[in-house]
Amino acid sequence: MAPSSTSPPTSPPHTSQNGENGENSQNALWTLQDVPGKGKGLVVTQDVTPGTCLLSEAPLITTEIITSFDMDSTEQQLLGALNKLPKADQERYRSLHNNFSDSDPTHPLSGIVRSNAYPLGVEEEVGGVFADIARINHSCRPNVVQYWNPLFEKMTIYAVRAIPKGTEITTSYIPGGVSQERKQILKDHFGFDCTCELCSLPEDKLRQSDERIARAEKLDEMIGNSKNIYYAPEEVMKNARSLLNIYEQEGIKDGRLSRLYFDLFQMCNMHGDLARARCFVKYHCDLKKLAEGKDSKNVYEVLLYVKSPQKHGSYEPDGKWKTAASDVPKGMKATEFANWLWRGNI
C-alpha cells in the first residue's frame, strides 16, 4: 500500500478532468495533504478505478527558455519567464518543493525545476513544471502513469491500478531497475532517499523482487533482439510469457508492459500470424488507453493496426506462422484461448 496521511487536507478537494476536452466532472478526486516523510502529496478522496483521469494540466513554465548551462544565467532566464506569469501562478511556482535549497541556496528557481520538472515526451530534452502534478510523490511501484499529450499540450495522470480512498497518488520518476540502481538514480538526480512501498519491503522480499526485476531485464533484452525475433520466435514467445508473469507478480503496469505487447505484435506480424498480431496489438492499445486516455496520440496511431494489422511495416505475408486476422478463435474458455495465443507456452 502506498502511504496515506491522516493529516487534514491543506487544500479543498479537486475535480477530475476527462482529458479529452478538459471539462471538469463533479467528482472531487484528490486533495493536497502532508504525507509523512515526503513533504506534501496528493491523496485520493474516493476509491479510484484503473483508467480514471486524475489530472490534466498545462505547465506553468517549460525549460525551452533555458539556453545556458551557466547557473546564474539559467536563474535569470527562469526569473524572466516567471515574471510574465500571473501573480497567482508565480506564487504557486515559488511554493513548490526545492530539494536543493540547502546545497544551492542562490538558485532557488532552478532548484524548483530540478526537483519538479517532467520531460514533455519520451526522450524529450524539454521539461515542464506543473503546479499540481509537481506534488505527486515517487513510487517504484506507482499507481498512476504520466503522459504528455502533444495534441492538447497537457500532461495527463491516469490511474493504472485501483487506488483505494485515502491512498496517496504515486508515479515513477524513473524507468525502473533493481532497488540499488533505483535508489542511486533518485539520489543523484532528484536528491532524495526513496521510502516508497517497494523500497521499504523487508530485506528478503526486496531481494526476491530484485531477482525478478533482474530476470525481467534479461528477458526483455532477449525479446527485443531482432535476430531472436526472426530466427527464434518460439523461444521469444516462451520468454515473453515468463516476462508477463514477472510483470504481474511485480505489479508492473507501465510502458514496459505495453511495449512487450507491441514487440509480440510485430513478431507475429513478421511471421505472417495476423490473428495473434491482432490480439497483441489490441492489448497494447487497451493499455495505452488506460494509461493515456482514448485521446492519446499513441492510441490514434495503433488503432489502425487493431483493425488491419497487415498495414504495419512488420507484416510478412509468407511467414511460417501464417493466419488470417479473422482466425482469432471464438467461444473458447480462457485457459484454452491463452494456450492458443501463447502457442502452448502457458
Ligand X SMILES: C[S@@+](CC[C@H](N)C(=O)[O-])C[C@H]1O[C@@H](n2cnc3c(N)ncnc32)[C@H](O)[C@@H]1O
CB-CB contact of 85 with 59 (8 Å) = no
For the bound state, the minimum distance from the C-beta of residue 169 to ligand X, rounded and expressed in Å, comes to 11
Q: Please enumerate in sequence order all residues whose Cβ is within 8 A of that of 57, keeping only pairs 6 or more positions apart, or say none.
A: 130, 131, 132, 133, 154, 155
Among 36, 39, 329, 344, binds ligand X (CB under 6 A): 39
Q: What is the largest CA-CA distance in the chain?
A: 67
CA-CA distance, 81 to 110, in Å (whole number)? Answer: 12
- Which residue, 77 or 116, is less far from ligand X as judged by CB? 116
Q: Which amino acid is at 166?
A: G
CA-CA distance, 316 to 183, in Å (whole number)? Answer: 43
- Which residue, 223 or 252, is less far from ligand X as judged by CB? 252
- Which residue, 114 or 312, is less far from ligand X as judged by CB? 114
For β-strands 53-57 and 24-35, DSSP reports them as unpaired
Among 17, 52, 77, 115, binds ligand X (CB under 6 A): 115
Scan for cell 511495449, then name that residue: 259
Give, as ranges, the residues between 85 and 104 that touch ligand X (CB under 6 A): 96-97, 99
Among 30, 33, 41, 319, binds ligand X (CB under 6 A): 41
For the bound state, the minimum distance from the C-beta of residue 100 to ligand X, rounded and expressed in Å, comes to 9
Verify binding: residue 310, ligand X, rule CB under 6 A: no
> What's the chain's Rg over C-alpha atoms?
22
| Cross-sheet strand order for the sheet of 154-159 | 53-57, 154-159, 144-149
Verify binding: residue 135, ligand X, rule CB under 6 A: yes
- Which residue, 206 or 328, is less far from ligand X as judged by CB? 206
CA-CA distance, 137 to 194, in Å (whole number)? Answer: 10
User: Which span (38-46, 48-56, 68-76, 209-217) binds ligand X, by CB under 6 A?
Assistant: 38-46
Give, as ranges, the residues between 170 and 229 that touch ligand X (CB under 6 A): 190-192, 194-196
Residue nearest to ligand X (CB): 39
**Site of interaction with ligand X (CB under 6 A):** 38-41, 96-97, 99, 115-116, 134-135, 137-139, 190-192, 194-196
